Amino acid sequence: MTQLRTIGIVGGGLMGTGIAEVAALAGFPVVVVKASGGDVGGLRDRIVKAMAGRVAKGKLAAEAAAAAESRLTFTTDLAALAGCDLVIESIIEDLDAKRALFARLEAIVGPTAVLASNTSTLKIADLASGRPDRTVGLHFFSPVPAMALVEIAHLPTTAPEVLAACEAFVAALGKTAVPVMDSTGFVVNRLLVPMLLGAIAAYEQRLAGAEQIDTAMRLGCGHPLGPLALSDLIGLDVVYAMAKLLYKEFGDDRYRPPALLRRLVQAGHLGKKTGLGLYDYAHKPPRANAGALVEVAAPSIAA
C-alpha cells in the first residue's frame, strides 16, 4: 500500500510555499526545492511570517508553528527529493518547463514515489509519460492555508492505491479532495473561467461599473468575492493564460479572452499583486481602476 510520509515541493512561489506550510503544519517532513536556484532564505521567511500572522490573530498555536518550521528543509538541489514519497511540482504554468522537470524527477525519486503537479489547467497526461500509474494532479487553490478544496486529477492508468493515498494526504491536511478525470482545466476552472471572462466583458461593455458588477454577483449569487475582484486576486496574467489554453483546447467562445483583459496584461497591470488591475489597490478599500476603460481599438481576440 502506498503511504505518503515525506513530501517534496518544487517551486518557491506563493503556491509552493503555501503547500509546504500546510503540509508541515499537518506533521509531514517537507523538502522545498527552489527551482530557479539562488538564496532559499526568503522561502523560509515567507512561511514563518505567514504562520506568525496567524499566531498573532489567535488562529494558530505558537508551539504548532515552531514544530512546523522544524519540519521544513529548503534547498536548490533536486537530488534532495530522492527520499520523498510524494513530490508536488508547483513551478510556472508552462508545459515544456513542467515536462522537463518531470523527466528529471522520474530519474531521482524512488519507484514507489508519487509525482504530482499543482497545475490549474494543463493535462496530467501530457506530463506523466514516465510513470502514468503514479502521476496525478493535486490542484490546490490560493491562498492555500485558507482554501479547503484540492482537485485530484487522475488518469485511467492511475493506480487505485495512488489515488487513495493522495486522498488520505489531502484529508490529513484538513482539506476536501474532489477526484476528477484528467482534462484541461479540471472542474473548477472549466466552470470558473467563463464567469470571470463574462464579468470582464460586461465591464468592458459598460454594462455596469466594476463595484456594481461585483456587488451584484456577491449578493445575487452568494459569492464571497465578486468576479472582477477575484480575477485581480488570482492575477490577470493567470486568468489570461488559463483562458487562452482553454480556448485553444476547446475552441469555445466562452473561453475567448476579452480585449480589456489582454490589454491590462500587456500593460503589466496584473491585479492585486502589482497594485493595479481591474481595481486600483492604492486606495483603501480598493477602487475601480479609472484608467482601465480607455478606448479599446482592437476587438476581443484569443491571442
Task: Tell me which residues are annotated as active site.
Answer: 120, 139, 151, 189
For the chain, the helix, strand and coil percentages under 3-state DSSP, each to the nearest 5: 45, 15, 40
Let me know: does 10 contact 105? Beta carbons within 8 Å. Answer: yes
Q: Is the peptide bond before 143 cis (omega within 30 degrees of 0)?
A: yes
**CA 301 – CA 63 distance, rounded (Å):** 52
Instruction: Read off the C-alpha cell for 219.
Output: 449578493
* Residue 253 burial (10 A CB sphere; 0-12, 13-18, 19+): exposed
**CA 118 – CA 149 distance, rounded (Å):** 13
If you ran DSSP here, which 8-state letter would residue 139 be given? E
**CA 117 – CA 95 distance, rounded (Å):** 11
